[in-house]
Amino acid sequence: MNSEIRKDHRAEEMSFFGSLAQRLLHGDIGSLPVLLGLILIALVFQIANPNFLTPLNLTNLLVQITAVGTIAVGVVLVLLIGEIDLSIGSVSGLTAAIMAVISVKADMPGWMAIVACILSGALIGLIQGWWIAKLHVPSFVVTLAGFLGWQGALLYVLGSTGTVNLSDPLIVGISNSRLPVLAGWIISIFFIAGFTFFQVREQTRRVRIGVPNQTRAILIGRAALISIAILVVVGVMSVDRNPSHTVPIVGVPSAVIFLIGFILIFDYTTQRTKFGRYIYAVGGNAEAARRAGINVDRIKIIVFILSSVMAACGGILAGSRLYAVNQSSGSGDVLLNAIAAAVIGGTSLFGGRGNIWSALLGALVIGSIANGMDLLALASSIRFIVTGGVLLIAVTLDAYTRARRELTGSS
Amino acid sequence: MDNQESPPVLEMRGISKRFGAVQALSGVDFEVFQGEVVGLVGDNGAGKSTLVKIIAGTYQPDSGRYIFEGEEASVSSPRQAANLGIQTVYQDLALCDNLDVVANLYLGREETQPVIPGLFDSLDEITMEQRALRFIRDLHVNIPTVRSRIATLSGGQRQSVAVARAVMWNSKIVLLDEPTAALGVEQTHQVKDLILRLRNQGLGIVVISHNLADIFDVSDRIIVLRLGMRVATFNTHVSNPGQVVAAITGAVFGPVESDTEIKKERGDEKNEQ
């Protein structure tokens, strides 16, 4: 690579494929493999069982991944600063149990139970983050202790009951409501209009002060792709998906709205705010961040708080969907699926690389595999093996592109 | 140097520093004028790094005066030194590989714009990019685009970005620790060009290097430390490497006559690296 050649600044307006090729060359492949993987998975399952790509199944699939996807948002944040959080499964179980006990056993209003659940998540994150940042104990160990400890706390909170059935309409409604069809369309139109407006405004400003970034063709192409994707997804969820067509089941499920909302909020936070910039800086080179005057400890603690809060939100979504919180809430494959989702989605285990969307993409991959195998009535043994294989491929790609980056970077 | 009639931007007087049993610096004077490049040389353990860290505010001297722009200054942290306009570029550069050039130039001092005034700001990427672009062009730093990630840049380009970041914030003095170590010939050339351009813009630059050839290429004066003391000062334009090596090693002063001796001493100097 001869990067010493001074390029004309017009070259900054690279063609779409030119910039893609450049990024691939530098090992900066982002979400491309996981998108291709998703298409492949969908094709395979659709051929094996034509029920896979039906509105009912696709909507179910999206609802199934909301809890893991939400928890994975927190995992992405933690991975971005180059740490790990193994406690998220237990934390989601414990905080959901706190919500259930306050709502059902103490008979308090649902909103109070939800607030208590999120606050207890924040407190847990604060304790773990403080321990990691201030006492310099590796996050692997602190959160492994949390994994065990909060699991114990879950059993304690539930007591002899074992299972608490949820009945509060607010709590149950979180995962079991549907947006009216019209509202779904209005929200998506507003979103597309807002997105386009801000893109146009930014591009106008760029052109005015002479800082070109991307060609108009790329911008229009991207806006069109995003608009089509939103409209297709909302469209699929707006047709009657009840197979017997007795009572129409239509509208975007509320849980999906929550997941997308979390993704959008945290994508904005990581990409467009100082705090987000510092998350990447800490993950890229913590010493450089410290020398630049960034309070590295503070960033770490906040990220661990957010991780536990997102685990709590995932716990609420899961509990709400099942109408219950029990001793196995947040245990089993919740932790590993959330971490796997973040990594499969393209967030690096080595810190500083990735984005929030990988939580959604990775959760979609894992959810599609689980859902498709259920449709084919395959044993869960095969599901675990396939998910493990996909995870291995994702991490191998990450390690490979990292080596590739170092190679091209030092030339 | 025309500028040397005016007082130095930075003046250190009688700096001493002791670490336990080791007297790292004893009564060292040091000065940097506006628009000059000072080469700071000396053998390992001569006290170069200690002196630079005192100037940068990382260490505090046991005794001595720190005079900046003619006024006594007290510098007890790198932040205070930075506030005076003194920036240090260490060998490890302190860049975030995963961020692009703009983000690194602005790290810790991002431009923001209000989203909800008074409550919530977002990054003002366009302003940062515009200023970074202009700044990088003014310095003739040679990088593909200001949106290139540091990981995709060569060693010389990274060094240039690190230096650019150091001078971006109204710096008056830049300390460069081994700026050309581990760089290839072409990249060393780039960095040396950048140093000279900064000098012509009126900055005072201190270069620490083991590589006398580089020091001779860029510096106006060479200050030699030996065993914690300042033993010699050379006007680069009327000196030769042999004299400097003699001062570094403590060999007899005086003009070096034969080429063979110079070669031998240059060999010694290489061995020190």
Q: Which residue has the tokens 């994707």?
A: A229
Among A3, A210, A287, the residue with its CB nearest the CB of B157 is: A3
Burial class of residue B239 (count of CB atoms within 10 Å of its CB; 0-12, 13-18, 19+): middle
Q: Tell me what pLDDT residue A215 has.
A: 73
Q: Which residue has the tokens 């070096």?
A: B256
Write the ipTM.
0.85
Among B95, B110, B143, the residue with its CB nearest the CB of A274 is: B110
Instruction: State whether residue A324 is helix, strand or coil.
Output: strand
Separation CA B17–CA B62 (nearest Å) = 5
Domain span at residue B74 reads 2-94+170-239
In a domain, B245, yes or no: no
Q: Tell me what pLDDT residue A18 has.
A: 59
Quick check: B151 and A205 CB within 8 A?
Answer: no
What is the mean predicted confidence (pLDDT) over B38-53? 90
Quick check: B130 and A291 CB within 8 A?
Answer: no
Q: At what angle do helices A274-284 and A66-80 cross, to 10 degrees?
A: 70
Separation CA A44–CA B142 (nearest Å) = 48
- Name chain B contacts of A280, Cβ cutoff 8 Å: 96, 98-99, 103
What is the mean predicted confidence (pLDDT) over B84-101? 88
| B31 backbone dihedrals φ, ψ, rounded to 5° | -150, 145
Q: Which amino acid is at B133?
A: L
pLDDT digits (tens, 9 = 90+) for B195-245: 999 999 899 999 998 888 889 999 999 999 999 999 989 999 998 888 899
In a domain, B126, yes or no: no
Quick check: A409 and B147 CB within 8 A?
Answer: no
Tokens of A286: 């913590």
Alpha carbon of B64 to those of A173, A254, B225: distances in Å?
72, 69, 17
Quick check: B107 and A409 CB within 8 A?
Answer: no
Quick check: B94 and A288 CB within 8 A?
Answer: yes
What is the Cα A140 distance to its own chain's centre? Answer: 21
Apex A411 CA angle, A79 and B187, nearest 5 = 115
- Dmax over CA atoms of chain B, in Å, equals 74
Total residues found in chain A within this entry: 411
Q: Is A384 left (phi over 0), alpha (psi -120 to 50) or beta?
A: alpha
- Name chain A contacts of B122, Cβ cutoff 8 Å: 268, 272-273
In a domain, B262, yes or no: no
Separation CA A394–CA A399 (nearest Å) = 9
Tokens of A61: 């699939």
Query: Over chain B, what HEC string results?
Result: CHHHHCCCCEEEEEEEEEECCEEEEEEEEEEECCCCEEEEEECCCCCHHHHHHHHCCCCCCCEEEEEECCEECCCCCHHHHHHHCEEEECCCCCCCCCCEHHHHHCCCCCCEEEEECCCEEEECHHHHHHHHHHHHHHCCCCCCCCCCEHHHCCHHHHHHHHHHHHHCCCCCEEEEECCCCCCCHHHHHHHHHHHHHHHHCCCEEEEECCCHHHHHHHCCEEEEEECCEEEEEEEHHHCCHHHHHHHHHCCCCCCCCCHHHHHHHHHHHHHHC
E-strand spans in A282-352?
324-326
Separation CA A231–CA A186 (nearest Å) = 11
pTM of the model: 0.86
Count of other CB atoms within 10 angstroms of residue A47: 9
Q: Tell me what pLDDT residue A24 has.
A: 56
Apex B224 CA angle, B218 and B230, nearest 5 = 140
Tokens of B86: 């003194």
Separation CA A279–CA A318 (nearest Å) = 28
Residue B73: pLDDT above 70?
yes
Separation CA A90–CA A307 (nearest Å) = 12
**Is the Cβ–Cβ distance between A307 and A125 less than 8 Å?**
yes
Q: Can you give the CATH number for the domain in which B228 is found?
A: 3.40.50.300
Residue burial A321-347, b: 16+ Cβ < 10 Å; e: rest: bbebbbeebbbebbbbbbbbbbbbbbb
In a domain, B165, yes or no: no
> Tens-digit pLDDT profile for chain A (411 aa)?
333 333 433 344 445 555 556 555 555 556 777 888 899 999 999 999 999 999 999 999 999 999 999 999 999 999 999 999 999 999 999 999 999 999 999 999 999 999 999 999 999 999 999 999 999 999 999 999 999 999 999 999 998 878 999 999 999 999 999 999 999 999 999 999 999 998 888 888 888 887 776 777 788 888 888 899 899 999 999 988 888 888 888 899 999 999 999 999 999 999 999 999 999 999 999 999 988 889 999 999 999 999 999 999 999 999 999 999 999 898 888 999 999 999 989 898 889 999 999 999 999 999 999 999 989 988 888 888 888 888 888 888 878 877 776 665 443
In a domain, B227, yes or no: yes
Q: Tell me what pLDDT residue A7 has.
A: 40
Q: Which residue has the tokens 């919740």?
A: A334
- Name chain B contacts of A288, Cβ cutoff 8 Å: 93-96, 107
Q: Tell me what pLDDT residue B256 has.
A: 40
Q: CATH code for A25-177+253-409?
A: 1.10.3470
How many domains are there within chain B?
1
Count of other CB atoms within 10 angstroms of residue B193: 17
Q: At what angle do helices A334-344 and A66-80 cross, to 10 degrees?
A: 60
- Name chain A contacts of B96, Cβ cutoff 8 Å: 280-281, 284-285, 288-289, 352
Instruction: For residue B153, give the chain A residue with the closest CA.
Output: A409
Among A4, A26, A268, the residue with its CB nearest the CB of B154 is: A4
In a domain, B67, yes or no: yes
Which position has the higher pLDDT, A59 or B139?
A59
Tell me which of B89, B96, B157 to substitute to probe the interface with A (most A C-beta atoms closer than 10 Å): B96
Tokens of B29: 């004077």
In a domain, B156, yes or no: no
Residue B51: pLDDT above 90?
yes
Residue spans of the domains in chain A: they are: 25-177+253-409
Q: Tell me what pLDDT residue B181 has.
A: 81
